[in-house]
Amino acid sequence: MTDNVHMSPELRRDLIARLRRIEGQTQGVQRMLKEERDCSEVIHQLASIRAATRSASLALIEQYVLARLHSAPADKEGQGLERAITDILSVLTHAP
């Protein structure tokens, strides 16, 4: 069974743009290594790439979880599951 994520065109464009920037960053790190740049500069760029990929991942995770939430039947309170998902996303956002 596949779990296709149906996302808005805006989110899709945003994620593609983020991934293109990340691609450019990784190419830049490769150039830095070829140029034998200082390790601290390379590490700084790798940290930026890690942050960018994490941010893109969280945006996609949020879309997936919310899509699954809206396709799931509501509980007796109608909001309990949504609050739980919001709390989970909050924890993921602040995770190291």
Rounded to whole angstroms, the Cα distance separating 60 from 12 reads 9
Say whether domain 9-94 belongs to CATH 1.10.287.130: no
Ranges of each domain in the chain: 9-94
pLDDT of residue 4: 59
Rounded to whole angstroms, the Cα distance separating 96 from 93 reads 9
pLDDT at 65 over 70: yes
Rounded to whole angstroms, the Cα distance separating 20 from 27 reads 11
The closest alpha carbon to 80, from 89, 71, 69, belongs to 69
The token duo for 6 is 């149906």
Enter the pTM of the model. Answer: 0.71
pLDDT at 34 over 90: yes
**Stretch 18-29: mean pLDDT, rounded?**
98
